[in-house]
């Protein structure tokens, strides 16, 4: 739901950063691992390759590097950060939180830190929280990070899922704006009753890790892909319409759309229904689906490659495990922090 926080001031993104592992896994590599083909994967998903963390490289490593890049971009030191929110479904361990590990790794000793779990929608949820906390005057420099190592929860012998996912992290620093607002509207939603179509069943209180859960592969992603697909097409369109309404804008007012990078077919379909294919940013071919990291990685790429201009209105829209969805409209105002 939209926040009812009494906004005292505006908030915007002052810097972004991203980090993906060096190791590339191509569709041709996957052909040697499961019964699949480059042709099938490209046709059904648009994915050509993805990045996979090396042994010992963990979610907080990618998150910390993305965070450091965002701080550098914003010209803010780690000691000035007062809150870190990490959106992830693959923290280094259930606790301490990934955000606390990141806090230690980047030396953000004055920051509070916590994780949120909203599946692939996590970054939009976290950005909404950051906006409200900054707008309410509670915090002034909030690091919002989406970070995942999905390769660690992927069943590499299940062709239905293993071709889709990749590892990576993206980050944004949210700061108060003197005038106007940078983060214009949010829509967050959930349909917990449909959660069973995308789960990681074991490792929690329902099915604590045991030999049995491991034997049954319950520590891997389980997904009914076509169910998620149908939900995603509908919800991306609905969430977009709703967030536009909240912002008092029309489709034509949006300059750049950054959807969750799950599948090129999904991105194309949503873009077609929204009537704006040329505005949609996609990097799914190179990184696959990196869950909560996909939107902030794409946002950082779009910023660094000059696709985002000051004043551009940017739509973020995502969906994922929960089931959850979220959309945000922001005004690209990074330069206003450096004026």
Contact 295, 146 (CB under 8 A): yes
Active-site residue set: 120, 260, 289
Q: Nearer to ligand UT7 by C-beta: 11 or 163?
A: 163
Applying CB under 6 A, among 15, 17, 320, 326 the residue interacting with ligand UT7 is 320
Count the site residues for ligand UT7 by CB under 6 A.
19
Residue 233 touching ligand UT7 (CB under 6 A): no
In the region spanning residues 247 to 266, those forming contacts with ligand UT7, defined by CB under 6 A, are 262-263
Prior bond to 323 cis, omega within 30?
yes
Among 52, 163, 256, 274, binds ligand UT7 (CB under 6 A): 163
CB of 124 to ligand UT7, least distance (A): 13
Give CA–CA dist 312/335, Å, rounded. 12
Give the residue at shortest CB distance from ligand UT7.
Answer: 225
User: Rounded distance, CA 30 to CA 180, Å?
Assistant: 48
Q: Are strands 49-51 and 83-87 parallel, antiparallel or unpaired?
A: unpaired
Q: Determine the Cα–Cα distance for residues 110 and 141; give it in Å rounded to an integer.
A: 11
**Which residue in 241, 259, 111 sits closest to 173, CA to CA?**
111
Q: Assign 19 to helix, strand or coil.
A: strand
Nearer to ligand UT7, 103 or 154 (CB): 154
Nearer to ligand UT7, 145 or 221 (CB): 221
159 or 313: whose CB is closer to ligand UT7?
159
Distance of CA 286 to the CA centre of its chain: 16
Segment interacting with ligand UT7, rule: CB under 6 A, options 62-70, 135-143, 175-183, 227-235? 227-235
Which part of the chain contacts ligand UT7 (CB under 6 A), choosing from 33-41, 71-79, 122-130, 131-139? Answer: 33-41
Q: Please report the DSSP string for 83-135 in residue order.
A: EEEEE-SS-SSSSS-HHHHHHHHHT-TT-EEEEE--GGGHHHHHHHHHHHHHH
Q: How far apart are CA 191 and CA 173, in angstroms?
A: 29
Give min distance, CB of 150 to ligand UT7, in A: 9
CB of residue 35 vs ligand UT7: minimum separation in angstroms? Answer: 7
Asked if residue 229 binds ligand UT7 (CB under 6 A), the reply is yes
Measured CA to CA, the distance from residue 311 to residue 131 in angstroms comes to 18
Instruction: Tell me which stretch binds ligand UT7 (CB under 6 A): 21-29, 76-84, 223-231, 246-254.
Output: 223-231
Residues 88-147 that bind ligand UT7 (CB under 6 A): 120
- Phi first, then psi: give them for residue 10, nearest 5 degrees: -85, 170
Q: Which residues here bind ligand UT7, judged by CB under 6 A?
A: 36, 40-41, 44-45, 120, 159-160, 163, 223, 225-226, 228-229, 232, 262-263, 289, 320
């Amino acid at each position: 739901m939209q926040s009812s926080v009494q906004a005292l001031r505006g908030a915007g993104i002052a810097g972004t950063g991203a980090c993906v592992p060096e190791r590339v896994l191509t569709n041709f590599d996957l052909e040697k691992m499961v019964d699949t083909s480059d042709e099938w994967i490209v046709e059904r998903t648009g994915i050509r390759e993805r990045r996979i963390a090396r042994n010992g490289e963990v979610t907080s490593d990618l998150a910390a590097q993305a965070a450091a890049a965002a701080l550098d971009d914003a010209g803010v030191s780690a000691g000035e950060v007062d809150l870190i929110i990490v959106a992830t479904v693959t923290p280094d361990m259930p606790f301490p939180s990934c955000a606390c590990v990141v806090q230690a790794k980047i030396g953000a000793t004055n920051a509070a830190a916590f994780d949120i779990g909203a599946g692939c929608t996590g970054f939009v949820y976290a950005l909404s929280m950051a906006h409200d906390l900054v707008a309410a005057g509670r915090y002034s420099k909030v690091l919002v990070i989406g970070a995942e190592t999905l390769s660690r929860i992927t069943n590499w012998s299940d062709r239905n899922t293993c071709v889709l996912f990749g590892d990576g992290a993206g980050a944004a620093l949210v700061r108060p704006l003197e005038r106007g607002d940078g983060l214009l509207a949010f829509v967050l939603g959930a349909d917990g009753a449909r959660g069973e179509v995308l789960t990681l069943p074991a490792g929690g209180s329902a099915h604590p890790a045991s030999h049995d859960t491991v034997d049954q592969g319950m520590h891997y992603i389980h997904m009914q892909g076509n169910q998620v697909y149908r939900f995603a097409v509908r919800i991306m369109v609905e969430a977009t319409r709703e967030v536009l309404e909240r912002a008092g804008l029309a489709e034509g007012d949006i300059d750049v759309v950054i959807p969750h990078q799950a599948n090129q077919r999904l991105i194309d379909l949503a873009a077609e229904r929204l009537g704006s294919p040329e505005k949609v940013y996609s990097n799914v071919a190179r990184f696959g689906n990196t869950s909560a990291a996909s939107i902030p990685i794409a946002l950082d790429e779009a910023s660094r490659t000059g696709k985002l201009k000051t004043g551009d209105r940017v739509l973020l829209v995502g969906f994922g495990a929960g089931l959850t969805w979220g959309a945000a409209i922001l005004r690209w105002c990074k330069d206003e922090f450096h004026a």
